[in-house]
Structure 1
Amino acid sequence: MKEDINFERLYYENYNIVVRICLGYLKGNESLAQDLAQEVFVKVWESLGGFKGNSKLSTWIYRITVNTCLLELRKKKYTSDKNIEDIAEINNTEVDARKENQLKKLHGCIQHLSVEKKALILLEMEDVPQKEIADILGLSHEVVRTRIHRIKNNLKKCILNGNI
């Protein structure tokens, strides 16, 4: 299996998503997110021979990403007070201040979610199909749909009222 996969291509196709998922877990600590992304791809390379093909390769990579982030959180009990502005770097100067403020509020609200809810919404925000999210997290598709719907409603309330 390992010989059939172009690892360099796999890395470049998935690296940005892996980093963004890590950023969501690590409260915007970009250097640690990049370090963990590298760790994820080391694990992917080392375990590639054991990939059974029961799911898409990207699903498997995202599962490794979530597990790696959770392990890091347990190891370090990560509690950085990183400013949300570091998470929400917005390079598009045409985006008005209101949208920028809402994005900051969104990321701030996401930081208050439980680890599982954070995994759900971060994968949803990356446009990972909900069936694939279910596979990644070991949940039924119906449970994922329901929880994402509830999380979105809670995030809307948080953004509008400032509490989750």
Structure 2
Amino acid sequence: MSKKLEFQEIYHSHYPKVIRLCMGYLSGNEALAKDMAQEVFIKVWQYLKDFRGEATISTWIFRITVNTCLQELRKKKTKSLKIDIASNEANEDPESEKQFASMYRCINKLSAENKSIILLELEGLPQKEIAAITGLNHAAIRTRIHRIKDQLSKCVKNE
């Protein structure tokens, strides 16, 4: 398979997950999330030849995504990112919009590492894969996810 065809297949199968993860990191800012997703796939294209297969391609791409988004957040540390609810579909239930916004506000209060963990969990990644991406062991991930969910529940209730 040519590099171009291989990349196109990778792009199409991973873009939806990458954009959702970026949206989570960037407080639902769709334009910035699309920019970050583009950055991720530029890096994937550039380094695909160097991919050694020590992890799955998905794990490798998620690690690039996490690192790219964290790098962007460090650059923008002085600016506060706001949730762009207007970009959501107009026919959404106003109550679910409030819950969505509240959840993202609470997620944004988490440490960078906990934010990574919960966004990957919300993306539906297996906990072992989250451990591989974050560099933590599986038991630590299970414990953290439980604690993070408790913390988020309390935060959302207090909003």
> TM-score of the superposition, structure 2-length normalised?
0.88
- Residues in 1 aligned to 2:131 and 2:5: alpha-carbon distance in whole angstroms: 24
Does the 8 A contact of 1:117 with 1:151 survive in 2?
Answer: yes
Gaps of 5+ in 1: none
In structure 2, relative to structure 1, the CA distance for the partners of 1:128 and 1:154 (3 Å cut) is: same
In structure 2, relative to structure 1, the CA distance for the partners of 1:4 and 1:22 (3 Å cut) is: closer
1:112 equivalent among 109, 118, 126 = 109
Deviations 1:78-128 (A, max 9, x none): 6334235257x256x4x6544443222111211111111111111111101
| 1:58 corresponding residue in structure 2 | 58
Give the letter aligned to residue 127 of structure 1. G
- Residues in 1 aligned to 2:3 and 2:99: alpha-carbon distance in whole angstroms: 46
Gaps of 5+ in 2: none
- Residues in 1 aligned to 2:24 and 2:47: alpha-carbon distance in whole angstroms: 24
- Residues in 1 aligned to 2:86 and 2:121: alpha-carbon distance in whole angstroms: 21
- Identity, in percent, stands at 52
Give the letter aligned to residue 109 of structure 1. C
Does 1:160 find its partner at 2:119? Answer: no
Does the 8 A contact of 1:106 with 1:159 survive in 2?
Answer: yes
- Residues in 2 aligned to 1:121 and 1:104: alpha-carbon distance in whole angstroms: 16
Q: How far did 1:76 drift? A: 2.7
Q: How many residues align?
A: 159
Q: Cα RMSD (Å) of the superposition? A: 2.3
| 2:71 corresponding residue in structure 1 | 71
- Residues in 2 aligned to 1:2 and 1:132: alpha-carbon distance in whole angstroms: 28
- Residues in 2 aligned to 1:131 and 1:18: alpha-carbon distance in whole angstroms: 18
- Residues in 2 aligned to 1:32 and 1:84: alpha-carbon distance in whole angstroms: 11
- Residues in 2 aligned to 1:111 and 1:90: alpha-carbon distance in whole angstroms: 22
Does the 8 A contact of 1:26 with 1:78 survive in 2?
Answer: no
Would you identify which runs of 4 or more consecutive aligned residues in structure 1 move more than 4 Å? 1-5
Counterpart of 2:27 in 1: which secondary structure? Answer: coil
Q: How far did 1:4 drift? A: 9.9
| 1:148 corresponding residue in structure 2 | 145
| 1:127 corresponding residue in structure 2 | 124
In structure 2, relative to structure 1, the CA distance for the partners of 1:6 and 1:22 (3 Å cut) is: same
Q: How far did 1:51 drift? A: 0.9
In structure 2, relative to structure 1, the CA distance for the partners of 1:100 and 1:30 (3 Å cut) is: closer
Does the 8 A contact of 2:29 with 2:84 survive in 1?
Answer: no
